[in-house]
Structure 1
Amino acid sequence: MKVIYLLPFTGLSQAALRFGCASVSLQRLDPLVEPGKIPSAHVHQIVGGNAFNATMEGDIGEKGTCTTCVYSEDFSNYWTAVMYFRHENGSYKRVPQYPNAQLGTEGRDDRNIKGGMTIYYTQKDFSSNGDQFITAFQPGFRMTVGSPTVDSFEGAKSQPGLRYTCLQTPLTRGYETPDFPREPCPGGIMAIHHFPACWDGKNLDSPDHQSHMYSTTKGGFVEAGACPDSHPVRTPQLAYETMWNTTAFNNMWPRDGSQPFVWSYMDSKGYGTHADYVFGWKGDSLQRAMNDTCMFHGCGSPGVQGVLKTQTVAEMNACAVRNTVTEDTEGWLDALPGQGM
C-alpha cells in the first residue's frame, strides 16, 4: 500500500502527548501478523478503538464507535503480548495490568482506568518539543516493533527501544534491562516499547510491517537520531508503557530462584518482546496536535481547553470489543492458550 508524501506548508511541530488507554480486548487475534486467523497463535492485550477485529482493513478511525483512550478522537489500536506467571507446579496465571500512577490529572481519576497502557507521541524528549516538522501517520498506516523470534540476549540488547523496568514503587522509573527482571519487583514490571520514527514517506505498510520504517531510537525517551535518506520523513516517536502488577506473585517465586514470568508465546527470557500499532485518529486530529505547542495534559484534559477532545474514565472503561475467540485466559491454566503443554 503506497501514498504520496507531500512537503508540509505549516510551521514546526511542538507537541508531545502522554495519555492512558483502558483495555478494549484480551484475546487471541493478530490482524497484522496473522490477518483473518481465528484464533491467532498467542494471546494479546489490546487498547484503543472498538473496531479491532481479525482483519483490520481501511481507515480504522472511521469504523469505530468508541475508544478506551483518554483522547476521544483516537480510535487507533495498540497491542502487545500478555504476561503470565508460571507456577512451580506448571500452571499459568495471567498477570493483571494497572494504570500508570503518573497520569493523574485534576478532574479525572486516572487511577481507575481499567488496566491498559500508557501511550506516548513525542517529538524530541520530555524537556523540549524539538525543531522539526513532525508528520502524523496516515489513514491505513500500521507497523510492528520487535519480534517473538528474537531468542538471545545480544539480539534483545541490539534493540534499545524494547526494555523492562523493575519498579520499586508505581512511581519509580529505574534502570532498564533487555530481559525480564531476575528478582521479585516491589512495584511490578513495566514493559516499554519504543517504535521507529522515520518513515519512507510512501508505504503505509510493508510485508514484514517494519521495512517502511527505520529506527534511530536510543531508548529511554532520549531524542532519536537523524532519519536516513531512505526514510526521510520524521513521524511522532510512538511508545507504549505497560504496568504489569506482578506483586501478587512475589511470595510464589520459585525456590530455585528462577525467573517465573513468561510472555503468552512462551518466552521466559523476555527477549522476543514486540508490539503492534494500527493508526486510527479521526480526521486531522493527530496532525493538529503535532502542530500545536502543547505538552502532555496541556493538549487536553478536564478543565484544560486543549487542541484535543477528552472523555471521562467511565466512558473509557465502558468501551469494549466482544471476543471472537472464546477460551479461558484468566484462571490457573494447565497451558498457555495456543501453546500446548
Structure 2
Amino acid sequence: MALTITAAVVVGLAAVAHAGDLSTPTPTPTPSPEAPWPDFAMPPYNGTGPTLLRFGCHQVVVDRIDPLVNPGSIPSPHQHQIVGGDAFNASMPVSDISELSTCTTCSYSDDFSNYWTSNLYFRARNGSYKRVPQIPNRLFFDDEFTTKTNGGMVAYYVSPGKGEVKAFEPGFRMFFGDAALRSEPQGQWNLSTQTCFRCYSGPDFQGDDLAPCQDPAVDTQHLPNGPCHGIRTNVIFPTCWDGKNLDSADHTSHIAYPVEGPHVFDGIGTADTCPDSHPVKIPQVMFEIVWDTTAFNDPNEWPEDGSQPFVLSTGDRSGYSQHADYVFGWKGDALQRAMDAGCIAANCPGIATQAVEEAAKCRVPEVVDENYEGWLDTLPGNPPQPSATTST
C-alpha cells in the first residue's frame, strides 16, 4: 500500500510526542481546505521506507563572499551566512570538497557540504540597520543538537526509499532563487511552496503546525507584513538532475522540477516523473533558518507608514530575493547510504555523528574585514534597494 502521509502529519505527530519540550505545546494540526489530511499510515523509517534527514549545523562564518555566484570576488555584492565544512572560501574548486575540509559544523560529521543564504536585517525608522540574530530550531525526534546550535540552520534531505534517488556526486553544486528579485516571480511554476517565510504567531514556535510553505495562515513568499514572534525561512531545491553536469553557467540549468511541478515538502517524496532532459531523481534538499525578530517589534521603530521593517542583505525589503547556495561535500557514499537507509532525522544508523560542542569548534576566518554587528548606517556593501524588479 502506498504511503500517503504528508509532512503536516509528521510535524504534528512529532509535536505531540515532544510537547513537553516546549514551554507552550504546539497544538495538533487540524484538517483545513488549504491543507487537508489524507488517509495515512506512519512511514516506518526503519530501513524499508523513506528517509527524512533533519539535522542542525552551526554557523561556520558570516562573510561577504560567494564562491558559487561570484567566485573569487572579494568582496561579493552582498553578505551571506554559511554553515558546513571549513573548505568554504571565496573560490572553491569543482572537486571533492570532503577531501579539502578538516571539520564541519553539522551534526553528521561526514557532511562537509556548504550551505548558505542571505542574512536578515532590521531597518529602524531612523534609517539604521541591525542584523537579526539566528536562533536554534525547535526539538523534533529527540535531536538535541539542533536545539543548541550557534546561529546556523537546519538541513533536510528526503528520499522516497532505497534506490529511489541518486546522491549528488563530488563537485556538484546548485543554486535556488534570484538575488535581484523584488516582486513575485513570474514563470512556469508557482514557487510559493518552495520558498517562504513563516511568521510565528506566538512564543515558542506557536503557529508551526503544518508543513513548510503550506500554511497560508502563517506562510508568505514575501517577508511578513506584521510583527511576528520570530520568522522562519525555508528554501527547497529542485529534485531532478540532467545526470551529466555538476554545475551550469547559471547554477540552475543542470537541475529541474518534475514534470508534474515542484514537489512540496512532504517528508517522503521527491518527484513522480522527471523530464527527459533531467531524468535523474535526486534527494530533496531544504534549508531552514529561524530569525529572532522579537526584539524588533516596537511599532515606534517601524516605518511611519506601517510597512514591514525587515530587509535581506541583498538590499531587498520584499523578501522575494531570498536564495540559497549548495555545494555538495558528503564523504564517500555516506549520503547515498543515508538515502537508502529508511531512517529519520539526525540518528541515521551507520552515518557518523559528532557532539554539538565538537561541531562548534569548526570555524572559517572572515575574508572581508567589515563590521556587520550592532547598529549600522548601511547594509554591508550598501547594495541598492530598488522597489521592484521582476524575473522568471
Interval of TM-score (by shorter of Structure 1 and Structure 2):
0.7 to 0.9
User: Counterpart of 1:133 in structure 2: which amino acid?
Assistant: E
For the structure 1 residues 155 and 317, does the alpha-carbon distance in structure 2 shift closer, same or farther, using more than 3 Å as the test? farther
* Structure 1 counterpart of 2:114: 77
User: Counterpart of 2:324 in structure 1: which amino acid?
Assistant: A
Whether 2:314 is the aligned partner of 1:277: answer no
Aligned partners of 1:229 and 1:170: how far apart in 2? 45
Matching of residues 163-174 of structure 1 within 5 Å:
163-168=196-201, 169-171=203-205, 172-173=207-208
Q: Deviations over 1:236-265 (max 9, x none)?
A: 000001101111101133343111001101
For the structure 1 residues 34 and 240, does the alpha-carbon distance in structure 2 shift closer, same or farther, using more than 3 Å as the test? same
* Structure 2 counterpart of 1:322: 365
Choose which of 221, 234, 238 in structure 1 pairs with 2:285: 238
Whether 2:143 is the aligned partner of 1:98: answer no
User: Counterpart of 1:254 in structure 2: which amino acid?
Assistant: P
Whether 2:77 is the aligned partner of 1:49: answer no
Aligned partners of 1:153 and 1:48: how far apart in 2? 30
Aligned partners of 1:110 and 1:130: how far apart in 2? 24
Q: Which has the larger displacement, 206-215 or 216-225?
A: 216-225
SS at match of 1:135: coil
Q: Deviations over 1:138-163 (max 9, x none)?
A: 00000000111222225498323011
Q: Deviations over 1:87-122 (max 9, x none)?
A: 11000000010111134736x454221011010001
Please state how far the C-alpha of 1:59 moved relative to its aligned partner. Answer: 1.3
SS at match of 1:68: coil
* Structure 2 counterpart of 1:181: 224
Choose which of 258, 266, 278 in structure 2 pairs with 1:221: 266
Matching of residues 105-120 of structure 1 within 5 Å:
105=142, 108-120=144-156
Choose which of 12, 28, 32 in structure 1 pairs with 2:68: 32
* Structure 1 counterpart of 2:17: none
**What is the count of residue pairs matched by the alignment?**
318
Aligned partners of 1:131 and 1:71: how far apart in 2? 20
Q: Which has the larger displacement, 45-54 or 284-293?
A: 284-293
* Structure 2 counterpart of 1:250: 297
The answer on whether the counterparts of 1:22 and 1:115 sit within 8 Å (CA) in structure 2 is yes
Please state how far the C-alpha of 1:206 moved relative to its aligned partner. Answer: 0.2
For the structure 1 residues 325 and 276, does the alpha-carbon distance in structure 2 shift closer, same or farther, using more than 3 Å as the test? same
* Structure 2 counterpart of 1:158: 190
The answer on whether the counterparts of 1:141 and 1:204 sit within 8 Å (CA) in structure 2 is yes
Matching of residues 58-69 of structure 1 within 5 Å:
58-69=95-106
For the structure 1 residues 261 and 317, does the alpha-carbon distance in structure 2 shift closer, same or farther, using more than 3 Å as the test? same
For the structure 1 residues 149 and 219, does the alpha-carbon distance in structure 2 shift closer, same or farther, using more than 3 Å as the test? farther
Aligned partners of 2:253 and 2:116: how far apart in 1? 19
* Structure 2 counterpart of 1:287: 336
Sequence identity (%) = 51
TM-score (normalizing by structure 2) = 0.77
Q: Deviations over 1:205-245 (max 9, x none)?
A: 00000000002324343744421111110010000011011
Choose which of 111, 115, 124 in structure 2 pairs with 1:87: 124
Please state how far the C-alpha of 1:130 moved relative to its aligned partner. Answer: 4.7
Choose which of 196, 205, 210 in structure 1 pairs with 2:252: 210
Aligned partners of 1:122 and 1:72: how far apart in 2? 18
User: Counterpart of 1:139 in structure 2: which amino acid?
Assistant: P
The answer on whether the counterparts of 1:70 and 1:310 sit within 8 Å (CA) in structure 2 is yes
Whether 2:229 is the aligned partner of 1:195: answer no
Aligned partners of 1:113 and 1:100: how far apart in 2? 8
Aligned partners of 1:193 and 1:113: how far apart in 2? 19
TM-score (normalizing by structure 1) = 0.88
The answer on whether the counterparts of 2:162 and 2:339 sit within 8 Å (CA) in structure 1 is no
User: Counterpart of 1:173 in structure 2: which amino acid?
Assistant: D
Q: Which runs of 5+ in 1 are unaligned?
A: 1-10, 124-128, 300-305
The answer on whether the counterparts of 2:85 and 2:101 sit within 8 Å (CA) in structure 1 is yes
